[in-house]
A and B are shown apart, each in its own frame.
Chain A
Amino acid sequence: MIKLKAVLALTLGCLLTLSAQAVEVRDHHKEVIGKDCKTCHDNGIKQFPSDQSCLQCHDADDLAEQTARSEEDKWQNPHNNLHYGKELPCQECHGEHQPKQPMCNNCHTFKFDKHKK
């Protein structure tokens, strides 16, 4: 009986540990969404969500305004940039369960100090 309990405890512990590792979530999203995975995962839990999930709460035009830059650097605005305008998908630069780097840095050395990975 004691052995059985020990095995169960170990198994459960591993499962919990695995779970915790698999679903890193931003603090802000934890607060707002909690544990409801389907809020974002509109294509099923094992698929990447569509950008519509992000846009449920975040407005593309508002973001472009928030990250606007001075005239000289105007087109370095990550949310309204020279090459793609406002049409760069959110998930190209922002990852929920794994950090991501700004796509612009594939070619440019721009500074994105406030980037939320």
Chain B
Amino acid sequence: MSDKQQISHRRRQLITGGAALAVTGLGASLAKPVSAACVPAEEIKFDEVVDIIVVGSGFAGMSAALQAREAGASVMVVDKMPVFGGNSTINGGAMAVAGSPLQQQNGIEDSVDTMVADMLEAGRGMNDVEMLKLVCHGTAESCQWLTDYGVKWKPFVQHFGGHSLPRILQTVESSGAGIIRPLVKAAKKRGIDMRTQTKLESFIKDDQGRVTGIEVKANYFFPKERSGVTRRYGARKGVIMATGGFGRDIEYRKMQQPKLTKELDSTNHPGANADALKQMMLIGANPIHLDQIQLGPWASPDEKGFGTASQFNTIATYPRGIVVDARTGKRFFNELADRKARADAIMTRRDAQGQPVYPIGFTNAEGASKAQTLDWGLKYNVIKKADTLEELAEIYAIPADALKAQVESWNKAVDTGEDSEFGRPMQKAMKLEQGPWYAVRMWPKVHYCMGGVKVNTRSEVLHLVSYKPIAGLYAAGEATGGIHGASRLGACAVAEGVVTGRNAGQMCASSKSIMLKQV
């Protein structure tokens, strides 16, 4: 079972909650957060002290921890949830890699510049180009780094929406668990102190404004806010925030995007909220792009969370099938556009009362041959099978003649190599000629927060007013903002999390240590 700190009842109870939260003089005069005055460093005594504390145990957190450990730092990873992995261990396990050996084997000529261009286009030009380049330059080497830690990839390169050519590698598990579990295992083996049920409450800073540690609730039982006991952990070199996004935080996401109400399910794990982001902002971190929140266009309303449809649609429907309006049987968007374009298009399918009319995505047995979740989707009645188009039309109440006409029209477009209606890239397009057919109802789910705190290329968190790094504070992964601009390309979160996590770990490990006192 999970590693847990044995609570020592003999230790005296410390002052609670925000009392330890310190702020810079500048922050105090401008923001007046709920906090005590600064506490001189020599007066703070920590329950435990390590070189580096990583908050969060997803791709970014585990990459940061292992990279720092490789550099010789002592590392503690804390996660408020009862299990490690956050959203990372439940995601699709797909990583965009420019220049992978598998691409070379398949004669695919890719480049960092091409990947940068694709991500800039998807991001509507809003991306932080310096951070974007850092990520794209790091994917090939980080892919090898993951392989060295035991990650196993499928033997083919995939083409996801918005990418101009195939560059996606995916774990054999079709899940981020195929990355997280080897990394967690390696971390324990290498002496990284891994702690679940340990929730960040606030930062501890010295009188110079440097982050010197965190106050936590140990033995915390999410989401029971009154559980746990207060502890203080010191970090000589720094704290790395790898706390992910806030897709499950309905109140906060609605604040940024009013249309993201509770009507929309999320693919995220239950703990994906804005708590950690707020703590960073309270000590002056600069937020960026918080209103850029991505919906996953491959999700189905017939199951919860990410489910089975997401992988089926990503692998089968979108690259090798079509999506039609259930009322007309007609296509209405480019199925290989990026996520924002696809999700926005799907969300337009509503009736006169504004209620969703779920579009139907489908392909045939050939198109679905690589869809690993097809059997599960069928078993749990999320994906449905039909032997003929007439039968398919009947299942979903689509006009049969219109559906057949659309399929014929699509097949002509494949023959000519041009989708004159929606401009879909046709390199991988497939004619839909015979059953059986596999189909699913589609509706987007809240998936990824492009926004977060501003970091520089050393993964240091930048202050809202001074634009300088907040000393001792680093961040990586979905907790940061700017890299993806207005829309993240599929499979780029794994790439970004691993590359920026390693960057944060390396930079933090190479920073100077400060002296901290322990109880």
Contact = CB atoms under 8 A, between A and B. Distances in A.
Interface of A: 43-44, 47-48, 50-52, 55, 60, 72, 75, 82-92, 105-110
A105 B227 CA distance: 24
B2 A107 contact: no
Given A89-B83, A109-B382, 17 more contacts: A44-B9, A48-B221, A55-B1, A60-B1, A72-B375, A75-B173, A83-B89, A87-B1, A87-B2, A89-B197, A107-B90, A107-B303, A107-B304, A108-B304, A109-B303, A109-B304, A109-B380
Contacts of B227: 47-48
B305 A107 contact: yes
Contacts, number: 74
Nearest to A50: B4
Contact of A84 (B9, B85, B305): B85
If over half of A's interface residues share one DSSP class (helix, strand or loop), that class is named, otherwise mixed; here it is loop
Nearest to B197: A89
Contacts of B197: 89
B83 A84 contact: yes
A87 B83 contact: yes
A6 to B, nearest CB: 38
A19 B177 CA distance: 43
Residue picked from A48, A55, A86, most chain B C-beta under 10 Å: A48
Given A47-B219, A107-B305, A83 B2 contact: no
B154 to A, nearest CB: 15
A83 B9 CA distance: 33
Interface in B1-20: 1-2, 4, 7, 9
B82 A88 contact: yes
B406 interface: no
A108 B4 contact: no
Interface in B278-315: 303-307
B84 interface: yes
Contacts of B1: 51, 55, 60, 86-87, 89-90
B175 interface: yes
Contacts of A52: 4
29 contacts: A43-B219, A48-B227, A51-B1, A51-B4, A60-B1, A82-B173, A83-B83, A83-B85, A83-B90, A83-B177, A84-B85, A84-B177, A86-B1, A87-B1, A87-B2, A89-B83, A89-B197, A91-B82, A91-B221, A92-B82, A105-B304, A106-B305, A107-B90, A107-B304, A107-B306, A108-B307, A109-B304, A109-B380, A110-B380
B181 interface: yes
Contacts of B399: none
B183 to A, nearest CB: 13
If over half of B's interface residues share one DSSP class (helix, strand or loop), that class is named, otherwise mixed; here it is loop
B173 to A, nearest CB: 6
B304 A89 contact: no
Nearest to B194: A87
A93 to B, nearest CB: 10
| Interface range for B | 20 to 34
B10 to A, nearest CB: 13
A82 B221 contact: no
A51 B1 CA distance: 8
B365 to A, nearest CB: 18
Contacts of B303: 107-109
Contacts of A47: 219, 227
Interface string B172-204: 010101001100000000000000110000000
B175 to A, nearest CB: 6
Nearest to B219: A43
A60 B2 CA distance: 11
Contacts of A50: 4, 219
B27 interface: no
B436 interface: no
B33 interface: no
Contacts of B270: 106
B86 to A, nearest CB: 11
Contacts of A88: 82-83
Given A60-B1, A107-B305, A87 B90 contact: no
Interface in B79-107: 82-85, 89-90
Nearest to B4: A50
Contacts of B305: 106-108
A82 B177 CA distance: 7
A88 B196 CA distance: 11
Contacts of B9: 44
Interface string B450-467: 000000000000000000
